[in-house]
Amino acid sequence: MRNVARTSLVDAAIDELRREIARGVWPVGTKIPSESQLAQSLGMSRLSVREAVRVLAHAGLLHTRQGDGTYVTATDESKVALRRRLDTAAAMDIIDVRRGLDLVAARLAAGRRTEEDLTALRETLGRREAAGQAGDLDGFADADVEFHVLVADAAHNALLADLYRSMSDALRDSVRPQEQAALYLDSSHDDLLRAIEDGDATRAVSVSVSILDRQERGL
């Protein structure tokens, strides 16, 4: 870690700690060095370091556990802000956003999917069906969300995949009102997989619309 000049020390410490977190020096879930250790490595007072840590904790990158230390909770403030916004979003708002993301993902996936993508989609859809047959609501919701995330991955658009993964928790919550009805296992997700396998973008989009329409009716 670089030694920081003594001008705008708190801002400099914030920038340096943010950079180290983004670089993965301290992965999510790990404890960062103590205030005294950071102060020594940055060449500044513990007070400046403490204020920098407080700012980054407020931003959602760090979390301080009383008597234990400070842990990394995220690496990207923009994703933290999006997650916080999604946590308060109405279910209908999430469905509206999914209409944009899901349709683009389905269309692109039909044209860009690889055999590895198809294998992952088939395996996840199999777990979704098995969980449904077993009445495992949590397992069903997890597999349902993972299936849609994998469709976004199969689009091979890094921004789209990042956006979809960022809202995966909210997406899982949007599945919950549908879980009981979904356990009857309609064929829509199988139809979506077949459309992607066939490279039929028009049919993939149409099936995605029907899935979202069904979820909207259940709200």
Distance CA 131, CA 125 (A): 10
Whether the CB-CB separation of 169 and 86 falls below 8 Å is answered with yes
Predicted structure pTM score: 0.63
Which CATH class for the 9-75 domain? Answer: mainly alpha
Distance CA 155, CA 5 (A): 45
The pLDDT tens digits of the residues spanning 19-30 come to 999 888 999 889
CATH 1.10.10.10 domain range(s) in the chain: 9-75
Q: Is 16 left (phi over 0), alpha (psi -120 to 50) or beta?
A: alpha
**What's the whole-number mean pLDDT along residues 114-121?**
97
Quick one: how far is CA 210 from the chain centroid? 24
How buried is 84 (Cβ within 10 angstroms: 0-12 exposed, 13-18 middle, 19+ buried)?
exposed
Which CATH class for the 79-217 domain? Answer: mainly alpha
**pLDDT confidence of residue 158:** 92
Residue with more model confidence, 77 or 142 = 142
CATH 1.20.120.530 domain range(s) in the chain: 79-217
The pLDDT tens digits of the residues spanning 124-152 come to 999 998 988 888 888 888 898 899 999 99
